[in-house]
Amino acid sequence: MALKKYCTVFALLLMSGAQASGPSPAHAETLQEAVNQMITTHPDVRAAAHNRLARDEEVRQARSGYFPTLDLEAGTGKDYVYEPFNGNTSPQEARIGLRQNIFAGFSTVNEVDRQKARVQSQANIVRSTADNTALKATNVYLEVLKNQAIVELAKENLTLHQRIADQIKLRSESGVDRLADMDQIQSRLNLALANVVVAEQGLLDAQANYDAVIGSPASQLTRPDNPSPLLPVSREEAERMAVANHPQLKSAMADLEARNKQDEVAKSPFMPLLDLEADRVWQRDILSDYYNGYDKQEDLRIFLRLRYNLFNGWKDEARKSETAHLINEAREIKNNTYRQVVESVRLSWQAHEALQKRINYLRQRLQFAASTANAYTKQWNIGQRTLLDVLDAEAERIDSARQLVTAEHDSLYADYRVLNSIGRLIPSLNLRWPEEGAVDDRAAGASSESESSAPGKPAQTTSRTGAGATTVSTSSTTGSSSMRLSPLTMK
């Protein structure tokens, strides 16, 4: 009976997040709400978003090469003439000129493509930054829930010791127990009080971290659903999904594409320039007018002008070599990003599997510890166990419950960490990417190094179940599936 009571109390702690005592607010803050607030207000995300918007303007700047330029010039001054006559003139000139480039060695089109690739790169950086900050928000959110549960366990332990202390006091007054037993329970009672103080301090620290990361105090938090059904079925599948979908890797590939286009731009100085020029010129009191017998001149000049540089101090050749080295740099950065993404998946998956095994053992430990504490209490009541045996058994039960709470939190965080390692944490929470994180998948897939990417994510995958959760199948190309799951609690 006592075992059932202990398990029921512990299950309620996990399901409710061990909410702090006091009046409950009218609205409980969910993990989705906390993450959504963070990705819309966090400085790191907003800084990346503004960088993306700035790169949009760079695309507009590059496209200006497709359009003509229109310039207006006007001037007046004094011309002191010594030969062939001695005198002064006051020339005046006005000019309006139209220039339209016809051919520039394909520099304009390649520069536009380069800037577009840089936009795609930064858009994926926005997604990666948002996903990483979402993981931080998830961590501080779960830390508050974990510490709330630990505080409740510490208070339960204190209540138990107070009840035993009352029993010992009555038994000592009636002559059943010795004075040493009273001293022993008082020592354990003070330890329980100290543990409550430590647990409450840990909760205050977790709430302070939550406020610093999320940007608002922690209200009544609710335990999130178990995301295990959204996880890949195996580590290999997780690696394939990460290589195909991770925004950090997509950003590196877009950077490599931008460097390739930059190399194409560097070839343009080796080709001629062809411009169409039209100028309307008004001149007055120009020196040449004296020879023609006129005091003013008005012209309309239309030229098709060809320019071709023959020597530039080897500057263009050095620029071409520079862009070749920059391509190699971007390729190595992409290769290193690939390694980091795969390493992150493997570490996250190993933590996920290890915690699933650990939870099973800790649940069994809690069952045996609760059964032992119940048996020792009954035996103590009939004189077959000492008070020390009972206190040690109860301490073992509380410690096993505390370790299981911690393991449950770590397991839930490990699941979200796996989703983050494959770049799908925000979609798994049914949230949208920031508006500045919009990407053109067709443009992103144009990289010359795309053969290193795994195929796209299948439309349907077999779900993996966590401990105590019901097996659920999910299919999503956007990662926006939502479902209700059984909480990770001991039945």
Residue 425 maps to a domain: yes
Q: What is the pLDDT of residue 90?
A: 81
Task: State how far Cα 356 lies from the chain centre.
Answer: 25
Residue 79 maps to a domain: no
Q: Which domain holds residue 262?
A: 2-67+106-271+315-452
- The angle subtended at Cα 220 by Cα 214 and Cα 222, nearest 5°, is 90
Beta bridge partners of residue 73, listed in sequence order: 95
Overall number of domains in the chain: 1
Instruction: Kindly report the pTM of this predicted structure.
Output: 0.76
Q: Which residues contact 131 (CB under 8 A, 6 or more apart)?
A: 247, 420, 423, 424, 425, 426
CATH of the domain at 349: 1.20.1600.10
Of 489, 483, 474, 482, nearest in space to 231 by CA: 474
Residue 145 maps to a domain: yes
Backbone dihedral angles phi then psi of residue 455, each to the nearest 5 degrees: -60, 165
Give me the residue label for tokens 């053969």: 451
- The angle subtended at Cα 369 by Cα 363 and Cα 375, nearest 5°, is 140
Residue 256 maps to a domain: yes
Encoding tokens for residue 383?
């004189």
DSSP letters of 277-321? EEEEEEEES-HHHHHHT-SEEEEEEEEEEEE--S--TTHHHHHHH
Residue 209 maps to a domain: yes
How buried is residue 175: exposed, middle or buried, by Cβ count under 10 Å (0-12/13-18/19+)? exposed
Of 396, 411, 479, 365, nearest in space to 145 by CA: 411
DSSP code at position 474: B
Residue 431 maps to a domain: yes
Q: Which residues contact 251 (CB under 8 A, 6 or more apart)?
A: 120, 121, 122, 124, 125, 128, 337
Residue 487 maps to a domain: no
H-helix segments, 64-106:
none
Q: What is the pLDDT of residue 29?
A: 83
Walk along the chain (491 residues) and give the pLDDT tens digit of each residue: 444 444 444 444 444 443 433 333 434 589 999 999 888 889 999 999 999 999 999 999 999 999 999 999 999 888 787 776 677 778 888 999 999 999 999 999 999 999 999 999 999 999 999 999 999 999 999 999 999 999 999 999 898 888 888 877 776 666 655 667 777 788 888 988 999 999 999 999 999 999 988 888 888 888 898 888 899 999 999 999 999 999 999 999 999 999 999 999 999 999 999 999 999 998 887 655 555 556 678 889 999 999 999 999 999 999 999 999 999 999 999 999 999 999 999 999 999 999 999 999 999 999 998 888 888 888 877 777 777 788 888 888 888 999 999 999 999 999 999 999 999 999 999 999 999 988 775 554 444 344 443 333 333 333 333 333 333 333 333 333 333 333 333 32
Q: What is the pLDDT of residue 491?
A: 27
Q: What is the pLDDT of residue 472?
A: 33
Residue 473 maps to a domain: no
Q: What is the pLDDT of residue 458?
A: 36
Give me the residue label for tokens 């080295």: 325
